Amino acid sequence: MARVKGGTTAHARHAKVINKAKGYYGRRKNCFRTAVQAVEKAGQYAYIGRKQRKRNFRRLWITRINAGARMHGMTYSVFMNGIKLAGIDMDRKVLADIAARDEASFAAIAKQAQTALDKAGKKAA
């Protein structure tokens, strides 16, 4: 039986890693050993980044809602409590979009929240 050398397989495996390392600086783009380390670390950063993106967007939405609520004399927490009491079931993403793009609609929502708070006997800050 003939001897099988692993040249093609090894070359394909190396090429796969080197292609993923395209655009990296220095030896990280063309030396297999350093490219493996760089690609592996990049994968870790990407994994972490996918989790962080969700947190960052939530922070952005809360900031935008807070800015809109403060224009109507309420803090974020008071506003969110008011819309829950009013029975408005909107997520933060949609509320933030309305606060940033449609002032009139957000004002109507804020008014409903304020009315619900007044009915519940709570005062806005």
d(CA 71, CA 47): 38
Domain ranges of the chain: 8-51, 53-119
d(CA 102, CA 46): 34
Decide: helix, strand or coil at residue 6: coil
The CATH label, of 3.40.190.10, 1.10.1900.20, 3.40.640.10, 3.90.1150.10, for the domain at 53-119 is 1.10.1900.20
Alpha helices (runs of H) in 28-102, residue ranges in sequence order: 32-71, 76-86, 92-101
Structure confidence by residue, pLDDT tens digits, 58-96: 999 999 999 999 999 999 999 999 999 999 999 999 999
Q: Which residues contact 79 (CB under 8 A, 6 or more apart)?
A: 65, 66, 69, 72, 110, 113
The pTM of the full predicted model, rounded to 2 decimals, is 0.78
Structure confidence by residue, pLDDT tens digits, 21-64: 999 999 999 999 999 999 999 999 999 999 999 999 999 999 99
**First CA to last CA distance, the chain:** 86
By the 8 A CB rule, do 81 and 119 touch? Answer: no
